[in-house]
Chain A
């Protein structure tokens, strides 16, 4: 079981890992995007971090919702509405709960991935964060259905997300800002798929 306190800890780790990788994510964005992904994500998660004390006593749904709202209002790039929607939908999936189990986590991930697809209207194979998210979700669902421990199914999810990131290197971007550079996007990994993988790794780090 995971309680509100642990969710707060996970979000702190997310903020830390995004901060450490801010320059890396921005550098990935430079050749194919608008050179701001890491800076934007870091600004968003720093705001999330500063607002955490205000939601410490809340249910997990409310904590995730607040995180999403902060990302929407402070990130400033596409990752704001995308991750913002992901966290807000994830929050709605566990509204009112102070403790969650593995099947709740599947519901969180399904809602988050569904939220990103709803907002960004992206499908697999367009060189976006979806290319890491869908394989990760499938691996996690499989792991949970096989009765694996959180540490094990999260490790499966991270491995699948990393494979997704590798896959984004091989394809042409047809969605988002990178679609403007067309064929020149081949060889570059997608910054959004990378940041999603970092966020999933942040969760896995605490199990």
Chain B
């Protein structure tokens, strides 16, 4: 199954989105990388790296970020993971994570999971 990592400046936000996505897809490997080591706000290179490693398999991993440094720090982590199948997805955090988790649990490929997350951006809430 394709792993999913949520990166946020906030520990509770990253964990909360994982929690929510687990309601839809409890089997999908998901990990949160939110906040700094000491629990304060920010994005941690080490936490993102560890979260990706914790859900990594040959099927690959997608990473969903909140904004700003989350994206730039994730980009640097991925650049230093040569040969691994890890991709960032530009999508809304909640909708993207839920769509990706459901797709991953259904046995979809990395590209399909990524596509599902990206399509979530165009869906109206009401």
Contacts and interface: CB of A to CB of B under 8 A. Distances in A.
A126 B75 CA distance: 22
Interface residues of B, number: 16
B73 interface: yes
A176 interface: yes
Contact of B46 (A36, A73, A77, A177): A73
Given A72-B76, A80-B73, A81-B73, A177 B68 contact: yes
Interface of A: 34, 36, 40, 72-73, 75-82, 84-85, 119-120, 176-177
- Which of B36, B42, B46, B67 has the most chain A CB atoms closer than 10 A to its own CB? B42
Interface of B: 9, 36, 40-46, 67-69, 72-73, 75-76
B78 to A, nearest CB: 12
Query: Is the contact region of chain A dominated by helix, strand, or loop, or is it mixed?
Result: helix
Contact of B43 (A76, A85, A119, A177): A76
Contacts of B44: 73, 76
A79 B75 CA distance: 14
Given A72-B45, A73-B46, A78 B76 contact: no
